[in-house]
Structure 1
Amino acid sequence: MILIVDDRPENIFSLQKLLELNNFAVDTASSGEEALRKILKNTYFLVILDVQMPGMDGFEVAEAITGYSKSKDIPIIFLSAVNLEKRFITKGYTSGGMDYVTKPFDPEILLLKVSTFYRLHLQTRELHDAQQKLREEVAERKAAQEALYHSLEELRSILESIQHIAFTLNREGNIEFVNRYWHEYAEGRENLPATPEEGPSITECIEKAMASGRQEVLEVCIKPLKSEEYRYHLLSMTPVRKDNVIAKWVGIFTDIHEQKMMNQLLENRVSQRTEELQRANRDLAASNHELQQFAYVASHDLKEPLRKIQVFGNLIHGKFGTDQQDTVQYLSKIISSADRMNKLITDVLDYSKLSISEKFHATDVNVIIREILDDMELLIREKSADIVVDNIPPLWAVPGQMRQVFQNILSNALKFSATGVKPAIHIRAERVSRPAPDATVDKNGQYCRIAVSDNGIGFDEVYLDKIFVIFQRLHGRNEYEGTGIGLAIVKKIIDTHGGVITATSEEGKGSKFILVLPMGSQQTKQTEQTYS
C-alpha cells in the first residue's frame, strides 16, 4: 500500500486517483503528524511526501520515518513545486528520501517510478523471506548437528562403558571409533584383530553385513595381542539409520570362548554317551531276543510233558479212579492243576509272540469282533448276555493281535459278570484328534477311541495300574478262573500299536475299558510297516 502525505486535498485526490486507476492501494494523510501515526499502525511499501506543509514539513517527516525501526526501510518520494533549488533537493536525499520529483510532474514518469519501487519492494520481501528460511534451515542444521554430536557422544560413552570390544564405522566402512578393549586385540584403530586362516576374517564379516544392509551376527575367532590362542567371539554388526538411510555401523565382539569350549565338551560327552547307549541298546535287544526265544522254546517244550500228565491222569482216572474215593479226589486235583498249567503256558506263549515282528494293515475290527462273538456263542447264550457293537472305523493294526485284544476284554466282561444279573456289554467308537483317553471328538481325527463298557462286578480304581501287570490278579482262583496274563497281553499289544489303554470302574457297578488306536486312513504310515 502507498501513503500519500499532502496538506492540500486537491493534490491528494488527483494523485490518489492516478494510482488507483493503475491498481495500487492507496492511503492518505493531510499532515506529517497523521502520517507518522498511520506508519506506526500500518505497513506501506512507498511514501509520497509533499515538502511544504504546515507544522512538520516533509523533511522533518522523512527524518522521523527513517528514525523508526519499523519504517526505516520504506522508500520516500518527495514532491515539491516551490523548493527547486539544489540545496533543497540535497536536503531531501539526506533526510531519507529515495527520489525528488518537482511539480508539475509527468504522470507516466511518476507511475514508472512507483512501479519500480513496487518491484523493489517485492524483491526485497522475497529476499527477506528467503533469508528467513535460510536462517531457519541453518538453525535446524545446527540443532541437528548438535543432536548428532550428543548422540555420538552418548553412543561412544555407552560403547566405552560395556565390557566388550566395540567399534563404529561410517557408511563407507571406515573405522571412526574404538573402545579401550579394542586395543587388547589390535594395534591401533586402523588395524583389525587377527583371525585364523581357515576362519572368516573381520573384513569379510564387515563386507557381508554392509552388503545385506541389516544386522548380522557372525561367529569369529580373534587372537589377543598377549596370547597365541584364538578365542571364539560373536561379532554383531548393527546399522544405525537416519532418515531411513544407513549413517554408520556399530560392531560389538562378545566373548563366547568358554561357552563354546563347554558346548564342545558336552557334545563330545553326548556323542560318547549316545554311542554307549546305542551299544547297550543293541546288547539289550540281542538279550531280549534270546530271552524271548528262550521263553517261547521253554513254553513250547513244557507243553509236551504236561500233555502226557493230562493224558495219563485221565487214563488213570477213567480206569482206576472209581474204586477209591480218595484217588478220585487226588486225580481231579492233578488234572485241574495240569489244565491251569496248560492255560498258563499258552498265555506265556502268546505274550512272548508279541515281540516277534508282524505286519501292520488297515484292519476291519468289526469283522474280527463278529468272529469272536461267533466263537463265544455258547458262553453268551449260557450267560444270556446282551452285546451291542457300534460301527468301528478301520484301524492300522495287526489283525491277529486285535483279535487277542477284544477276545480278552470280552471274555473278562462275561467272566466277571455279577451273580443274578444279565450281562450287558456295549462297544462304542468315535474319532479323536490325538492318542489320549480324554481327547476331543474330531470327525477328521486320525485316532479312534473305543470304549468297552459292562455291568459286571467292577473293581476299585486304586488297583487300575495293577490290572495291566502280568500275573497280577484281583480275585482268587477259587472265585474266577484265569492266569493274570490276559490284560497284560492287551496292554502290550496296545503299546506296540502306538495307542493307549486305561479303564474306569466302581465296585459292583461295572467297568469301562478305553482304547485309543491309530486309524487305517493315516497316510503317514507305510503299508508294510513292522515293529519289533
Structure 2
Amino acid sequence: MILIVDDTPENLISLKRVLETHNFEIDTASSGEEALKKVLRNEYVLIILDVQMPGMDGFEVAEAISGYSKAKETAIIFLSAVNTELKFITKGYLSGGLDYITKPVDMSVLLLKVKTFYRIYEQNRKLIDIQKALLDEIEFRRQAERKKDEFISIASHELKTPLTSVKGYMQLLERSIDKGDTETLKKHLGKAQVQLEKLHDLIADLLDISKIESGKLKFNKRYFYIDELLDSVIDIIHQSSPEFKIIRNGTVAREVYADEMRIEQVVINFLTNAIKYSPGTSEIHINLNNKGDKVYLGVKDFGIGIAPEQQKCVFDKFYRVEETAIHFQGLGIGLYISAEIIRRHGGEVGVKSKLDEGSEFYFLLPADSGSETD
C-alpha cells in the first residue's frame, strides 16, 4: 500500500486517481501528524511525502518515521515545488528519502519510480523469505543433529545397562551353580530374564524406528475385538506390575479392522508409561467408547502430568521431557512409534494432562480402516 502525504487536497486527489488507475492501493494523509499516526497503525511499501507542509514538514516526518522499527524498510519519495535547491534535495536524502522529485510532477516519471520501488520491495521480500527459510532449515538440521547425538548417547546407555546387569547375573549364576544353591540360582535367572526382556524391547523399538523411516513398517490387518485385546494386555501388565489396579470404563461391542499386534503395542506403551510416570499411585483407568465411526481408547493415570507447552511435543521422535528425563529411563521413541502406528491406520493420537494431576494418552482408531493404505 502507498501513503500519499500532502496538505493540498487537489494534489492528494490527482495523485491518488492516477496511481489507483494503475492498480496501486492508496491511503492518504493531509498533514505530517496524521501521516505518523497512520504509519503506526498500517504497513506501507512506499510513502510519497510533500516537503512544504504546515506544522511538521516532510523532512521532520521522514526523520520520525525512520525511528519506527516497523517502517524502517519503507521507501520515501519527497515531492517539493518550493524547496528545489541542492541543499534541500541533500537534506531530503539525509532525512531518509530514497528519491526527491520537484513539482510540477511528471506523472509518467513518478509512475516509473513507483513501479521500480515496488519491484525492489517484492524482490527484497522474496530474498527475506528465502533467507528465513534457509535459517529455519539450518536451525532444524542443527536441532535434528543435536537430538540424534543425544539419542545415540541415551541409546548407548540404555542398551548397556541391561547388558551389564545380565553379565553380572551370569557371574552370580556361576557361583550359585558351584555352591549348588538352587533357590539363589532361580532368583538370579529371574532377574536376568527381566533384563533380557528390557533389552529385547529396546532393540524392538530401534528396529521399528528404522522401519518407519525406511517406509517398511508393515501391517497385518484383520477384524478383532478391542475388548478381547484389553483382556490380554491387562494380564501382561499385571504380571509385571501387580501392585497397579487397572480399571476399565466402557466397552466397544463391534470389531475393528487393524493390525492387532501393533494396536496391542500402542496400548502396552500407554500403560507402561502411565505406570512409570505415576510414582506413589496405584490406579490406572482405561476409557473405551465409540466416537462416531471411530473407537476411542484412553489410558489415564494420576501421576506427575505434563506442562501445556510440552504436550504438543511428546509424540515427536526422540523427545523427552527435560524434568522427567533425569528421573526416568527411556529412549524417547515409544510414543513416536505409537503415534506412527495409529496415524498409519488413519487414526489420531493425543494427550490431555494437568501438572501434578495426571495424564490421559488416547487414540481414535477407525473401526473399519480397510480402505487405508497398509
TM bracket, shorter-chain basis: 0.3 to 0.5
Q: Which has the higher helix share?
A: 2
Q: TM-score when scaled to structure 2?
A: 0.45
With a CA cutoff of 8 Å and minimum separation of 6, indicate the structure with the bigger relative contact order.
2
Structure of larger gyration radius: 1
